[in-house]
Structure 1
Amino acid sequence: MYGHFKAITISHKNASLNIREQIALNEEECKNLMLKIRETFEVSETLVLSTCNRTEIYYYSENNISEEIIRLLASLKVLNSNEILPYFDFINDHNEAVNYLFEVAIGLQSQVVGDLQIPNQVKHAYQWSADMQMAGPFLHRLLHTIFFTNKRVVQETGFRDGAASTSYATVEVLESFLPLLTNPKILVIGSGEIGEDVCRTLADKNYQNITITNRTTAKAEALAQELGFRASDFQTVHEQILAADIVISSVRVEEPLITKNTLKKKSLAVKYLIDLSVPRSISPDVEELTGIVSYDLDEIQRRANEALQRRMDSVPQVRSLISDALVEFNNWSQEMIVSPTIQKLKGALEQIRKEEMARFLKDLSAEEAEKMEKITASMMQKVIKLPVLQLKAACKRGEAETLIDVLNDLFNLEKQTV
């Protein structure tokens, strides 16, 4: 039997946020799960990837233990395995699982196609596998091939161009203000899904002078503490608005929270307002005031949609690059299967050579023995050359296992150690 690559996945495509957040794993939990998989199933190569949109386990094994791994995961998270099992998809075909990891890592499977964060998230997951000594030859080669392909995608296509999500488009707009501001004070009103996404995007880009306010103060405080920002009481929101240089509002209100009246006491400095709320939380007429620049959700979404369309236009080119990489990787992967057999065959022939040499060395001078060593070693190289070439050719035809079995029988290779 030979190992095969498999994938277990739960994502935004098959589970709600409520389900995904119960299953999501932090770094310590990812490493702990890999350790348990190794101890329980003797699997030597595993990759665990967990983001806000997906939790996935990839493993290389001759056995299909996907359901057992889910039960192990459920045990670690103190969940009912029978309840969460239906939400998972299983990819048991080797080539499909390899292709799927390519598409995940490059962003074709992301909720926002071309997600800018996913390549680094996969790199972190790979580093954790390496830290736990759970990345062997197969995963090392696969992940490095993926990272190289991702580099080509960035350099040769428009797949990563622009901000294709609301949060990234918001920060892109915000960044257009920065040349005009020195260490701007940024206020984020609302820490719901959109507000939280914006805050996380700001944190990813290392912005610091940020205050979060929310009707539920505890929620704002928790997010602020996690990201290294400040939290303020919603009761003082109007004072915070006046103090900020940039205001991003994503709070649900019946009437606009920010109006001309709100801003009448503002300083002479230019103030930038971004409204991500529906209904709008910033009155459209605030731009009538001197020094107010305002953007609404439609403008932000238009930017995001334009970027998304550019990415979608690049998808065929991205898939072509992935296909090229898969051909190269699959050739290597097939050769990896026959590598132990080649080494055993070399060992078996070398043993025969040495045994025969030992029979005659006692009758030879040192000079003759040296010549005999060179002649027989050269002869063994020529003898083994054709079987090695035939094995590699059989790999490309998908017939390697048959030839491996024949060589095992002919040379009793099962008794050989690599």
Structure 2
Amino acid sequence: MSEKLQSLSLSYKRTPFEIREKLTLSEREIRDLYMKLKDVFGIKEALIISTCNRTEIHYRSEADISNSLIRLLASVKAIDSNELTGYFECLTSEEEALTYLFEVSLGLHSQVAGDQQIINQIKQAYQWAADMDMAGTFLHRVLHTIFYANKRVVQETEFHDGAASTSYATIDLMQSILPAMSQPKVLVLGLGEMGEDVAKTLFEKEIRNVTLCNRTFEKAETLAATYRYDAMSYFELINRIGEFDIIISSLRLMQPLITKNVLSKRNGITYCFDLSIPHSISPDVAELPGVVFYGLDEIQQITDESIDKRLAAIPAVKQIIAELVNDIDTWSKELQVSPTIHKLKNALEQIRQEEMARHLKGLTEEEARKMEKITSGMMQKIIKMPVLQLKAACKRGEAEELIDFLTDLFDLEKGSVKA
């Protein structure tokens, strides 16, 4: 039995956040886990992915060791493995595991369809695997094919087009006006799930002149330190709001906090993005000269249009994946017969060299050159049919039988042929 790619996955689709959070792995834990995979299980190739949405181990093994890996993960995080029962998905078919890894990497299994952040996380995971010498010939081929697939998806489909989350749609809309502004100051007001996502997206988009404000100042301070932003006390908001060119609010209030009266104290043009339900910014601020207001409905419409485009592109993405997975499958199977082909070529070349040596003494230099040319040509024709048959057997899944037959026939295990 030969090694095959298998996948062990715990993701947001079937696992609550509190369980996923317990199994989120740091870089140090991932590197330690690679060592255990190598030393305890003899795994030579593996890719570990750990994000807020998933923890996965993609590995090459002859046997299904998923239960042992679940226990290993539980021990690494010092939790009872029984807590994880029913949450993991195990793929032991190489074709299924390959297809799944491609789909995850290209964003088909992301919470936001087509999210391109995952491909960067895959690149980081690949780098750590390579650093730990856990990316061999097979994984190198797979990962580089995934990166090629991502380029094709970008060029040939609309799967990554537009902003398919509220935060991304907001920042994309904001960025469309940035060229008209000189070093605008951005205020993110409210740091719940939406506000945190906005702050993170601003950081990813390399927008740095940002101030965070929250009713709990400690949270604003902590998040500001993470992204190297400024933090502002909620009690300073009304007095300082005129400093900002762009306000993005996701505060949860029963009535608007930012009104026409509050914004009348501002200087210059102000863009307001209200992501709250109900409004935390009164829509009538748009009546003020120089104030532009975008509500959640407008932003959500942009998001919905992007999602519709992305969902419509999924069949095209899956077609690209199927094509490339088939290429890898063919290459992988042929890889299994490469050692046999190499041994067979060496064995037959040994016969040729031995026979040449027996007759060279009685030949002139010109005759020896002709014999070399004739016998080399014969060897190429002789080897051609077994090689073609081996590759054909790969596609039929019958390579092992033919490998065994050729190995016995030419005594390839000994590295020589009985002439």
Normalised TM-score (structure 2): 0.92
- TM-superposed CA distance for 1:87, in Å, is 1.4
CA distance in 2, matches of 1:240, 1:178: 21
- TM-superposed CA distance for 1:362, in Å, is 6.9
- TM-superposed CA distance for 1:17, in Å, is 2.0
1:288 partnered with 2:297? no
The answer for the alignment partner of 2:215 in structure 1 is 215
1:70 partnered with 2:70? yes
The answer for the alignment partner of 1:127 in structure 2 is 127
Change (3 A) 1:389 1:236: same
Q: 1:177-216 maps to which residues of 2 (within 5 A)?
A: 177-216=177-216
Q: 1:129-148 maps to which residues of 2 (within 5 A)?
A: 129-148=129-148
Secondary structure (helix, strand or coil) at the match of 2:171 reads helix
Q: 1:314-333 maps to which residues of 2 (within 5 A)?
A: 314-333=313-332
Change (3 A) 1:241 1:22: farther
Q: Given residue 274 of structure 2, which amino acid in structure 1 is its aligned partner?
A: D
Change (3 A) 1:196 1:416: farther
Q: Which moved more, 1:243-252 or 1:280-289?
A: 280-289
- TM-superposed CA distance for 1:260, in Å, is 2.2
The answer for the alignment partner of 1:305 in structure 2 is 304
CA distance in 2, matches of 1:264, 1:176: 25
- TM-superposed CA distance for 1:347, in Å, is 2.9
Q: How many residues align?
A: 416
CA distance in 2, matches of 1:233, 1:261: 20
1:412 partnered with 2:411? yes
1:344 partnered with 2:346? no
Secondary structure (helix, strand or coil) at the match of 1:31 reads helix
CA distance in 1, matches of 2:314, 2:259: 43
Q: CA RMSD of the aligned region, Å?
A: 2.2
Q: Given residue 196 of structure 2, which amino acid in structure 1 is its aligned partner?
A: E
Q: Given residue 99 of structure 1, which amino acid in structure 2 is its aligned partner?
A: T
- TM-superposed CA distance for 1:239, in Å, is 3.0
- TM-superposed CA distance for 1:146, in Å, is 1.6
Secondary structure (helix, strand or coil) at the match of 2:271 reads strand
Q: 1:18-57 maps to which residues of 2 (within 5 A)?
A: 18-57=18-57
Secondary structure (helix, strand or coil) at the match of 1:87 reads coil
- TM-superposed CA distance for 1:235, in Å, is 2.2
- TM-superposed CA distance for 1:370, in Å, is 6.0
Secondary structure (helix, strand or coil) at the match of 2:86 reads helix
- What CA deviation, in whole Å up to 9, does each residue of 1:125-149 have, x standing for no partner? 2222222221111111111122112
Secondary structure (helix, strand or coil) at the match of 2:164 reads coil
Q: Which moved more, 1:107-116 or 1:320-329?
A: 320-329
- TM-superposed CA distance for 1:351, in Å, is 3.8
Q: 1:159-178 maps to which residues of 2 (within 5 A)?
A: 159-178=159-178
Equivalent pairs: percent with the same residue?
55
- TM-superposed CA distance for 1:361, in Å, is 6.1
CA distance in 1, matches of 2:87, 2:154: 33
- TM-superposed CA distance for 1:405, in Å, is 2.2
Q: Given residue 263 of structure 2, which amino acid in structure 1 is its aligned partner?
A: L
Matched-pair contact (CA < 8 Å) for 1:70–1:85? no
Gapped regions of structure 1 (runs ≥ 5): none
Change (3 A) 1:84 1:237: farther
Gapped regions of structure 2 (runs ≥ 5): none
CA distance in 1, matches of 2:246, 2:385: 71
- TM-superposed CA distance for 1:356, in Å, is 4.8
The answer for the alignment partner of 2:7 in structure 1 is 7
CA distance in 1, matches of 2:166, 2:77: 32
- What CA deviation, in whole Å up to 9, does each residue of 1:37-91 have, x standing for no partner? 1122121111112222222111112122222222222222222222124311111
